[in-house]
Amino acid sequence: MTQGLGLILACEAAVANGARVGYFDTRGRFPAMTNVIEFPPATKAMFGRFRDSSRAWDGTNPVSLRTQELVRAAHSHPVQGVTEQPGVRHAGLCDVEAPLWIAAASSLAAASQQPHTVGLPAAQGHTPFLNPSHRSGFQSFNNTYIVV
Amino acid sequence: MRELSRTLGAGPWFLLERGVFPNQLDQGQPSTKALAIAMGYDGDIQIEIIKQLDGSASV
């Protein structure tokens, strides 16, 4: 299924909780790149705290500074690279591909072919990125979170 | 952040003023981009604002 998808993993890094985040260059399928992030429980809880803060927000204290804690946390959970697999193409080095990216690419490809099943617009559209119909986060496979 | 709060009601914001994340690959090449990242919610929608702080090529 992942053969010949032609999706490029434009960049990646390890972020808070050691979760890997990657940007697939999905321009042409979707209106922008697509952010894929591993979704361990700590990350899910962190996002939940942010969301809950928003629900209760009265407009005061609009910015909370975060420390380097999340960068340190990323350093303390080094990503283990695995050998290259077909389906996802790095623009350069191809030595750190991982099943996550293969699964993500497969999911994105499926989403672009069946946009309505995940609440996404047709890939050919030129709708502004922040059009409400675009703002759809979805969990489509184990432990990985995609934001379009 | 102020504009998105004003127009969407998004926030509050959780701001990392400067971070250099490990294991960065940019177009397949090792990278050490420094980023400022603000994250907030508009309802159930997560909004992330990313600002690159160094002069290297953007993604």
What secondary structure does DSSP assign to B5-48, as a single string?
Answer: HHHH----EEEEEEE--SS-EETTEE----EEEEEEEETTEEEE
Alpha-carbon distance of B40 to B23, in angstroms, equals 25
Position A97 scores a pLDDT of 41
Alpha-carbon distance of B36 to B18, in angstroms, equals 5
Q: B-chain residues within 8 Å CB-CB of A137?
A: 44-46
A27 touches chain B (CB under 8 A): no
Position A77 scores a pLDDT of 52
Position A131 scores a pLDDT of 32
Q: B-chain residues within 8 Å CB-CB of A79?
A: 22-23
Position A47 scores a pLDDT of 87
CB contact under 8 A, B27 and A90: yes
Query: A28, exposed or middle or buried, with CB in 10 Å at 0-12, 13-18, 19+?
Result: exposed
User: Between A76 and B8, where is the model more confident?
Assistant: B8
pTM to 2 decimal places = 0.70
| pLDDT per position as a tens digit, B3-37 | 999 998 999 999 988 888 888 988 888 999 999 99
| pLDDT per position as a tens digit, A91-129 | 332 233 445 666 666 667 666 664 433 333 333 332 333
B36 touches chain A (CB under 8 A): no
**Identity of the amino acid at A71:** V
